[in-house]
């Protein structure tokens, strides 16, 4: 059986670097949003578009910060104000520190 090839770069999936390039080139915005009943929510926008990646990242962040949250339509929501901590964890996950903006 043949090897599976990436649609973007036409390299075999085990050699594909598209995900790392997406992480380096993306502009990520972390901001605080007040939801219903003045509850603080941390919103992370500008992450990679694949829903499975967002859900996995949301799962890791929720576990790390012991909070609730969700991944929807290109952004991740976390319950509570975690702006300062999220940036350091995204850098650990491979995102470029210069592309992350905290508001």
Q: Which two tokens stand for residue 38?
A: 């003045």
Residue 82 pLDDT > 60, yes or no? Answer: yes
Q: For the chain, what is the domain count?
A: 1
- Reported as half-sphere exposure (CB side, CA atoms, 13 A), residue 6 has a value of 12
Structure confidence by residue, pLDDT tens digits, 19-46: 666 555 668 899 999 988 889 999 998 8
Domain for residue 40, yes or no?
A: yes
In 3-state terms the chain splits into helix, strand, coil percentages (rounded to 5) of 40, 25, 35
- Average pLDDT score, the chain: 82
Q: Which two tokens stand for residue 83?
A: 């702006």
Categorize the per-residue pLDDT at 98 as very low, low, confident or very high, splitting at 50, 70 and 90.
confident
Domain for residue 87, yes or no?
A: yes
Domain for residue 22, yes or no?
A: no
Task: Give kind and range of the element (H or E) at residue 61.
Answer: helix 51-65
* CATH code at position 48: 3.30.780.10
Domain for residue 70, yes or no?
A: yes
Domain containing 95 equals 27-102
3-state SS class at 25: helix
Domain for residue 6, yes or no?
A: no
Higher pLDDT, 89 or 19: 89
């Amino acid at each position: 059986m043949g090897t599976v090839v990436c649609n973007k770069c036409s390299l075999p999936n085990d050699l594909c670097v598209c995900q790392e390039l997406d992480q380096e080139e993306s502009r990520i915005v972390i901001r605080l949003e007040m939801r219903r009943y003045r509850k603080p929510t941390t919103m992370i926008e500008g992450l990679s578009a694949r829903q499975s990646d967002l859900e996995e990242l949301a799962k890791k962040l929720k576990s790390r910060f012991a909070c609730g949250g969700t991944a929807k339509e290109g952004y991740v929501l976390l319950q509570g104000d975690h702006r300062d901590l999220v940036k350091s964890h995204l850098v650990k996950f491979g995102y470029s520190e210069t592309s992350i903006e905290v508001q």
